[in-house]
Chain A
Amino acid sequence: MPQYAALIWNADLEPSDPAFAEMMPGYNAFGHEAEAVIRGGAALYHNATATTVRVTGGKGGEVVTTDGPYADTKEALTGFYLIEAADLDEAVGWAAKIPAAWDGGCIEVRPIIEFPG
């Protein structure tokens, strides 16, 4: 069965933000409803906690870190679900039930590459 990453792009909230707590029941409800198809996922801390890592001069070279996310967009990648679905229609159907889809954000659905073996 194909798997999809449902990437959640949404307002970049700190966990201490009251809006963050307000958001949780919706995600808990989704977690219950989609329990049978969720294969994994995580909620991410806000952009300010991100570190972007690069290595210059090839493998083992100098590690260069920058403070912040790779893409500094208006909406942040705030989490993701790994979802199993028969096809894209079904995956889109699940994505449409994730609160960010109607709460001012959006869900980016990406098929997962299945490596053999």
Chain B
Amino acid sequence: MTSPEDAVERVVREEFPRILATLVRVTGDVGLAEDSVQEAVVRALTTWPRDGVPDEPRAWLTTVARRCAVDRIRREAHRDGKEAEAVWLLDSDPEPPPDSVVRDDLLRLVFTCCHPTLSPEAQVALSLRTLCGLTTAEVARALLVPEATAAKRLTRAKQKIAAAHIPYRVPSDAELPDRLAGVLATVYLVFNEGYAPSSGDAAVRQDLVDEAIRLGRLLLDLMPDEPGVIGLLALMLLLDCRRAARVAPDGSAVRLADQVRHRWDPAEARQGVALVAEGVRRTPERADPYVVQAAIAGCHALAPSYAETDWDAVIAWYDVLLGVRDSPSARLGRASAVAERDGAAAGLAEVDDIAGLEHHAWWHGARAELLHRLGRDDEAGIERAAAERLGLNAGALASLDSSLAAPPR
């Protein structure tokens, strides 16, 4: 038997974004909508334990939040000495909106929170607050910033949405590809900050990974036909399925080659692979970068062991990826796969061909490892030092050190 407090928490966690999205449409103001939903949640916490959880908690919260919004607008109008024009809020559309309307509201909110005129930091903070339903304190913990900083970032973003009239709508078909790419980039940013944190000491920040996957599932629910959405969720699931094998008991990262694969989550891997297949099926003309990256992760998920990886397939997918989205990190990934298939010397030659990465810690880390495998330990040591100097994170450095200490494979 769950307590009413737990029920409130669960409903709020699951329904907050949908209730908020409805309130944003009704009030036209993200800040007012958020304050009103928050007030409704507080009332639920006092009345549900006494009267029991209502049959339709979302409808209850939506109705109460709407009344709170009307009260707030009336108070504001009264303070300004003007007649309230808020009555229409009560009269119009008094029934809780049907699911299809809520879905559209939520989709609009996604595009507002990830609007390209907001900074990536603001998009991430807003998405965690409004789309994941995290409190400001939880957003602060997720971003490793003081609560006051998170609150300020959220307030400024909401002020800009209101003052500059950032639209609350789904972009037109012509704009959609670009805008969707921005939404996906924001979700992937949240994922990466959890999967390979750029700050802090943890090798993985599972809370952020979980939020990113929640966002990915939400996007798939809202846009089930978009290959990028399918591909991004597939990619996140296929990387996250290694969760239990990725971090050693001492907290250091375990490299893919050394991970104990029976500890990978088979259900998550299966789901990811199925999504890859779906994504590939939907992109016969032009590959989608997320689908392709997921396909590479899928090759690993399907291999019984590192030694049995189908490196031909991995390299072929990297070639597809370089065709649609060339990047130094994709080239480095291809070079590592070449090192496995054709030997460390061939891999090193490819790593050395990637221009412009001298300032990236992971480029030096990759060189250190390949040089060690070729028995060139003096040079490997110099590269290891460069990687550390350039800020390779503690977990990755520890795993590099353990492979440099081991006999060359």
Which A residues fall within an 8 A CB radius of B? 2, 4, 86-89, 91-92, 109-111, 113, 116
Contacts and interface: CB of A to CB of B under 8 A. Distances in A.
B229 to A, nearest CB: 22
Contact of B117 (A2, A86, A92): A92
Given A88-B165, A89-B167, 8 more contacts: A2-B165, A87-B165, A88-B117, A88-B164, A88-B167, A109-B164, A110-B164, A113-B163
B117 A111 contact: no
Contacts of B163: 111, 113
| Chain B, interface residues (CB within 8 Å), range | under 10
A111 B166 CA distance: 10
B166 to A, nearest CB: 5
8 contacts: A4-B164, A86-B165, A86-B167, A88-B165, A88-B166, A88-B167, A89-B166, A91-B164
Interface string B157-178: 0000001111100000000000
A109 B166 CA distance: 12
Name the residue in B80, B117, B164, B167 with the highest tally of chain A Cβ atoms < 10 Å from its Cβ.
B164
A110 B159 CA distance: 13
Nearest to A1: B165
B117 A87 contact: no
Contact of B164 (A86, A111, A116): A111
Nearest to B179: A89
A86 B164 CA distance: 10
Name the residue in B80, B115, B165 with the highest tally of chain A Cβ atoms < 10 Å from its Cβ.
B165
A89 B167 CA distance: 7
Contacts of B164: 4, 88, 91, 109-111
A46 B167 CA distance: 36
B6 to A, nearest CB: 41
A109 B163 CA distance: 12
Contacts of B167: 86-89
Nearest to B168: A87
Contacts of A87: 165-167
Nearest to A89: B167
Contacts of A89: 166-167
Contacts of A2: 165
A88 B117 CA distance: 9
Name the residue in A91, A111, A113 with the highest tally of chain B Cβ atoms < 10 Å from its Cβ.
A111
Contacts of A91: 164
Interface in B20-70: none
Interface in B129-172: 163-167
A5 to B, nearest CB: 11
B68 to A, nearest CB: 24
Pairs of residues from A and B, 5 with the lowest C-beta to C-beta distance, nearest first: A87-B167, A87-B165, A111-B164, A88-B164, A111-B163
A107 B166 CA distance: 17
A91 B163 CA distance: 13
A116 B79 CA distance: 14
B43 to A, nearest CB: 32
A87 B115 CA distance: 12
B263 to A, nearest CB: 47
A33 B305 CA distance: 63
Nearest to B80: A116
B30 to A, nearest CB: 14
A79 B370 CA distance: 57
A11 B165 CA distance: 30
